[in-house]
């Protein structure tokens, strides 16, 4: 059952909840009271999927009415060469290894030029942590793009990529962010967050930027006037408690800075990596995770289902579990999830199909900019 304008909290609670703990949590949600980590664990372990969808839909409607967002975007992945060797990664290659690539500045320029007639408003840039690339080279990438499309919003470089170049340049996170902003950086994506717990992190990405450092770089971005996104990699060796620990740290930072635009749960894909023996969680678990994320992160207004990772049909159904953003058109410009076994090998979707997907769930499709300002209502 989904919340409608004709429903009231008492209607939804009446005769439907026998579990007293779940009823207390529902009353908190309907009254705008923040749920606790303990509440979130109860939801993960005890709540039926329909109940979670009902609560998450209520919150999504409270946050964004009946709107579901998308944007016109494309990706640039400058390289998949990376100094790290994360156990879950199917994307990373070493220098000179078969399947590796390094885009030149001219190739980046040509890519941007090819998208200029398509009405795109955002480019998302992320890739491997190249051992030889510096902060000044990152600046050249940005200036190359701006020279072709001065008004294009550049959402670029995960905290892991930024951490490496900041350390090379002997800059603090705030000093590094100031340099990047001067180059023309507009916001930063949420990649590299993975999972907060240090023991789990050590097992799946022990060489990588620490969780504390990831938070520090995002906080520095917020302090310098840039917004960012936050992600969480789920469905591997983590537990519900680890997910909650991760989201609680994001919620605390958001309380301080209000700099996160959206939260993006990213599903572990079990293909061509060291953790493929685990397999993947099912759709029920995906939807459960979206719903609990929507309920717990009460101060992050937007929840995104990244369809190249989840699949178009699953992303569509995720709208019933609190999702209010489907990312964008992509236009076959990312390989990160297709190399890990995602169903869309050449991820692309038209505006018409995005709108139809959203309408099929009883929602209003709204094209947005990178900061969630509406551009056009369809």
- pLDDT, residue 213, reads 97
Domains identified in the chain, total number: 2
Residue bearing tokens 């959402």: 155
What mean pLDDT do residues 200-222 have? 95
Q: Which residue has the higher pLDDT, 284 or 307?
A: 284
Answer yes or no: do 41 and 77 share one domain. no
As a whole number of angstroms, the distance between CA 142 and CA 14 comes to 55
- Among 44, 63, 82, the domain-final residue is 63
Answer yes or no: do 92 and 172 share one domain. yes
pLDDT-based confidence at residue 6 (cuts at 50, 70, 90): very low
- pLDDT, residue 3, reads 44
Answer yes or no: do 48 and 190 share one domain. no
pLDDT-based confidence at residue 134 (cuts at 50, 70, 90): very high
Answer yes or no: do 123 and 227 share one domain. yes
- pLDDT, residue 339, reads 47
What mean pLDDT do residues 156-180 have? 97
Is a pLDDT exceeding 90 seen at residue 344?
no
Is a pLDDT exceeding 60 seen at residue 140?
yes
Is a pLDDT exceeding 60 seen at residue 8?
no
Note the pTM of the prediction, 2 decimals. Answer: 0.91
Structural contact between residues 147 and 116, judged by C-beta atoms closer than 8 angstroms: no
For the record, the structure tokens of 367 come out as 């094209």
Range of the domain at 232: 68-377
Answer yes or no: do 39 and 55 share one domain. yes
2 domain residue, yes or no: no
What mean pLDDT do residues 286-310 have? 96
Report the percent of the chain where pLDDT is more than 70.
92
Beta strands 374-377 and 364-368, pairing class:
antiparallel
Answer yes or no: do 145 and 213 share one domain. yes
Return the bridge partners of 81, or none: 93
Answer yes or no: do 283 and 315 share one domain. yes
374 φ/ψ angles, rounded to the nearest 5 degrees: -65, 135
Answer yes or no: do 152 and 26 share one domain. no
As a whole number of angstroms, the distance between CA 96 and CA 84 comes to 15
For 180-210, write each residue's pLDDT tens digit.
999 999 999 999 999 999 999 999 998 899 9
- Among 38, 63, 88, the domain-final residue is 63
Q: What is the CATH number of the domain that holds 336?
A: 3.20.20.70
Report the percent of the chain where pLDDT is more than 90.
76
Is a pLDDT exceeding 80 seen at residue 229?
yes
**b/e for 65-84, b at 16 or more Cβ within 10 A?**
eebbbbbbbbbbbbbbbbeb
4 domain residue, yes or no: no
- pLDDT, residue 333, reads 46
Is a pLDDT exceeding 80 seen at residue 29?
yes
267 domain residue, yes or no: yes
Answer yes or no: do 56 and 78 share one domain. no
Answer yes or no: do 227 and 372 share one domain. yes
Answer yes or no: do 226 and 311 share one domain. yes
Nearest to 186 by CA among 225, 135, 234: 225
Is a pLDDT exceeding 50 seen at residue 335?
no
Is a pLDDT exceeding 70 seen at residue 340?
no
As a whole number of angstroms, the distance between CA 198 and CA 155 comes to 27
Answer yes or no: do 46 and 169 share one domain. no
**Mean pLDDT, all residues of the chain:** 91
pLDDT-based confidence at residue 100 (cuts at 50, 70, 90): confident
pLDDT-based confidence at residue 273 (cuts at 50, 70, 90): confident
- pLDDT, residue 15, reads 53
What mean pLDDT do residues 287-309 have? 96
């Amino acid at each position: 059952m989904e919340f409608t304008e004709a429903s009231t909290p008492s209607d939804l609670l009446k005769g439907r909840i026998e579990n007293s703990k779940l009823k207390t949590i529902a009353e908190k949600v309907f009254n705008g009271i923040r749920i606790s980590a303990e509440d979130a664990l109860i939801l993960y372990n005890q709540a039926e999927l329909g109940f979670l969808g009902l609560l998450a839909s209520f919150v999504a409607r409270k946050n964004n009415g009946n709107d579901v967002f998308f944007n016109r975007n494309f990706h640039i992945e400058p390289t998949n060469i990376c100094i790290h060797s994360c156990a879950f990664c199917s994307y990373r290659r070493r220098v000179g290894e078969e399947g590796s690539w390094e885009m030149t500045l001219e190739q980046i320029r040509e890519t941007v030029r090819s998208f200029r007639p398509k009405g795109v408003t955002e480019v998302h840039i992320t890739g491997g942590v190249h051992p030889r690339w510096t902060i000044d080279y990152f600046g050249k990438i940005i200036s190359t793009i701006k020279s072709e499309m001065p008004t294009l919003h550049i959402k670029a470089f995960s905290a892991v990529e930024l951490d490496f170049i900041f350390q090379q340049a002997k800059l603090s996170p705030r000093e590094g962010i100031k340099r990047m902003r001067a180059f023309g950086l507009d916001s930063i994506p949420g990649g590299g967050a993975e999972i907060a717990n240090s023991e789990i992190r050590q097992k799946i990405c022990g060489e990588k930027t620490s969780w504390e450092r990831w938070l520090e770089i995002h906080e520095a971005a917020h302090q310098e006037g840039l917004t960012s996104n936050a992600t969480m990699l789920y469905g591997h060796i983590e537990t519900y408690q680890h997910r909650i620990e991760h989201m609680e740290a994001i919620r605390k930072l958001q309380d301080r800075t209000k700099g996160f635009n959206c939260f993006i749960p990213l599903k572990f894909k079990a293909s061509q990596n060291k953790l493929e023996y685990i397999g993947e969680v099912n759709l029920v678990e995906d939807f459960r995770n979206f719903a609990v994320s929507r309920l717990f992160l009460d101060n992050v207004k937007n929840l995104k289902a990244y369809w190249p990772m989840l699949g178009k049909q699953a992303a569509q159904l995720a709208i019933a579990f609190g999702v209010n953003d489907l990312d964008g058109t992509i236009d076959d410009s990312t390989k990160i999830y297709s190399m890990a076994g995602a169903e869309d090998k050449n991820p692309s979707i038209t505006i018409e199909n995005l709108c139809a997907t959203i309408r099929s769930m009883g929602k209003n499709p709204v094209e947005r900019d990178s900061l969630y300002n509406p551009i056009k209502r369809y």
